[in-house]
Amino acid sequence: MLPRTKIILFSMHFNDIPKALASAIGIDLALSKSDGITRLGDHLKSLLTPKGVDDPANLKAGPKANSSIPV
């Protein structure tokens, strides 16, 4: 699997899966299908935004500052 690929569990049985188990098997986001596609979209935006992008220190330092920040 690609190392930076995000894994999303989108299930009707969301409440049956403990968060610790989801985290242990590499799931980045778990949502119930009853939450709807809009909520999935909101979470996708936050999940796919690189960490530190909104940090003013990173913006001043230039693109090299963000090169080592994992997504």
- pTM for this one? 0.55
Tell me if 13 is assigned to some domain: yes
DSSP-H helix ranges across the chain: 19-24, 37-48, 56-61
Which residue range is the domain that position 30 belongs to?
8-66
Tell me if 71 is assigned to some domain: no
Tell me if 26 is assigned to some domain: yes
Can you give the pLDDT at residue 29?
A: 86
Q: Residue 70: which pLDDT band, with cuts at 50, 70 and 90? A: very low
Can you give the pLDDT at residue 54?
A: 58
Can you give the pLDDT at residue 71?
A: 37
Kindly report, residue by residue over 6-37, the tens digit of the pLDDT: 888 888 887 788 888 888 988 888 888 888 88
Tell me if 34 is assigned to some domain: yes
Residue 30 has a CB neighbour count (10 Å cut-off) of 19
Tell me if 16 is assigned to some domain: yes
Can you give the pLDDT at residue 55?
A: 54
Tokens 């500052």 belong to 65
Tell me if 3 is assigned to some domain: no
